[in-house]
Amino acid sequence: MNAGVGQWLTSTGTAPSSYRVSQGTLLGRAASIEITADADGTVWVSGATTVAIRGTITL
């Protein structure tokens, strides 16, 4: 979700090409995430992660 919103915000000029967001505070899992958009529109999402679910899906 952060990548999609980041692409929209940076491409419309609503946000700068690099910004920081927070999420998860109300769930007790506060996190800080950095969004960076390259000149070609590629959006990068970075921050610390924790594996919450692990599994395999067969299609």
pLDDT at 14 over 90: yes
Q: What is the predicted pLDDT for the residue at 50? A: 81
Residue 7 CB neighbours (<10 A): 15
Mean pLDDT for the chain overall: 91
Q: What does pTM read for this prediction? A: 0.73
pLDDT at 1 over 90: no
The full set of domain ranges for the chain reads 2-46
Query: In this structure, are residues 6 and 37 in contact, taking their beta carbons and an 8 Å threshold?
Result: yes
